[in-house]
């Protein structure tokens, strides 16, 4: 038999305290308040071993979101799996910037390219209930996760399509296109370290300079934007100048880069000129 507080101490010695508490709560199926109210309770060795296995996996770098199967983003929790990128706060900034460029009501059409778990598309659908939202991903496994998240949130009106970037959107135009594409350099050593080792490589890395996917999106976006429509792309904090140059090169206007909540370049945006 093992006391709960002893397991918590073990976990805190190997990871951040918040992660430790979250994993113990998840393993026991209990809330954080229950955990502290019952810290002196004893666990049988089967339950204690289940907790220790999660602790060991996290200590080895496996992301907490994959261990719990869930990640909080925007105003909801999403199911995530190793088939999907784990949503990050920077993507919430992209959603915020997109919403600022859309009226609160009206019939307009939005596209989310590389939707993964569905974070951008579902946030946009939740905040703009009259909008038509189409989410695209090349991965059938990711789309299965995203569809499940949409159903759990009552957002089945979001359309999911499989394909590479604009391929499933032939002939269609949008009022706003948003994307969090892969943007890490393919030889970046961080891809082989920590949490990133466990996330899908094709959702993280994109060529020698990390801009291969963004080049495709920038090149094809003008033909998929309605006059006056917006394109927003999340990117690495050192890539703002390069992404702006790509957007300018395809004739988009009002090109700018916005910062994340830590003051780093994170989202570049532009629009198609009105007719």
pLDDT tens sequence across 43-61 = 888 888 888 898 899 988 8
What is the reported pLDDT for 109? 97
Instruction: Give me the mean pLDDT over the 144-167 stretch.
Output: 97
Q: Which two tokens stand for residue 205?
A: 């890395």
Query: Which CATH architecture fits 82-271?
Result: 3-Layer(aba) Sandwich (3.40)
C-alpha distances (whole Å) from 200 to each of 141, 206, 213 are: 11, 12, 15
Mean pLDDT of the chain: 93
Strands (E), the chain: 2-3, 42-43, 70-73, 76-79, 109-113, 132-137, 159-162, 174-179, 225-234, 253-259, 265-271
Whether 1 has a pLDDT exceeding 90, the answer reads no
Whole-angstrom distance, CA of residue 218 vs CA of residue 235: 13
What is the reported pLDDT for 8? 85
What is the reported pLDDT for 158? 98
Domains of the chain by residue range = 2-60, 82-271
In this prediction, residue 263 has a pLDDT band, given cuts at 50, 70 and 90, of very high
Percentage of the chain exceeding pLDDT 90: 65
Instruction: Give me the mean pLDDT over the 50-73 stretch.
Output: 91
**Nearest in space to 134 (alpha carbons), one of 148, 124, 144:** 124
What single DSSP character describes residue 194? G
Query: Which CATH architecture fits 2-60?
Result: Orthogonal Bundle (1.10)
Provide the whole-model pTM: 0.91
What is the reported pLDDT for 173? 98
Contact 232, 270 (CB under 8 A): no
What single DSSP character describes residue 30? -
In this prediction, residue 144 has a pLDDT band, given cuts at 50, 70 and 90, of very high
**Biggest alpha carbon–alpha carbon distance for the chain:** 73
Whether 28 has a pLDDT exceeding 90, the answer reads no
If one compares 202 and 86, the residue with the highest pLDDT of the two is 86
**CA end-to-end span of the chain:** 73
């Amino acid at each position: 038999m093992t006391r709960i507080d002893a397991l918590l101490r073990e976990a805190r010695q190997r990871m951040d305290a918040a992660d430790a508490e979250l994993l113990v709560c998840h393993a026991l199926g209990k809330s954080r308040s229950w955990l502290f109210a019952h810290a002196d309770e004893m666990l049988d060795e089967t339950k204690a071993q289940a907790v220790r296995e999660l602790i060991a996996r996290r200590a080895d770098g496996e992301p907490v979101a994959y261990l719990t199967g869930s990640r909080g983003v925007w105003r909801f929790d999403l199911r995530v799996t190793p088939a999907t990128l784990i949503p990050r706060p920077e993507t919430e900034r992209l959603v915020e910037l997109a919403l600022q460029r859309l009226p609160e009501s009206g019939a307009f059409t939005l596209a989310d390219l590389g939707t993964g778990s569905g974070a951008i598309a579902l946030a946009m659908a939740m905040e703009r209930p009259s909008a038509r939202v189409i989410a695209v991903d090349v991965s059938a496994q990711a789309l299965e996760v995203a569809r499940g998240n949409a159903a759990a949130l009552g957002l089945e009106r979001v359309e999911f399509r499989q394909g590479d970037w604009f391929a499933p959107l032939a002939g269609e135009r949008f009022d706003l296109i948003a994307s969090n594409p892969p943007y890490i350099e393919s030889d970046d050593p961080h891809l082989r370290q920590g949490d990133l080792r466990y996330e899908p490589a094709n959702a993280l890395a994109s060529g020698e300079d990390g801009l291969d996917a963004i080049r495709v999106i920038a090149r094809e976006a003008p033909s998929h934007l309605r006059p006056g429509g917006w394109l927003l792309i999340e990117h690495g904090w050192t890539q703002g100048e390069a992404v702006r140059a790509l957007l300018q090169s395809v004739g988009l206007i009002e090109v700018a880069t916005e910062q994340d909540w830590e003051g780093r370049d994170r989202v570049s945006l532009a629009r198609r000129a009105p007719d």
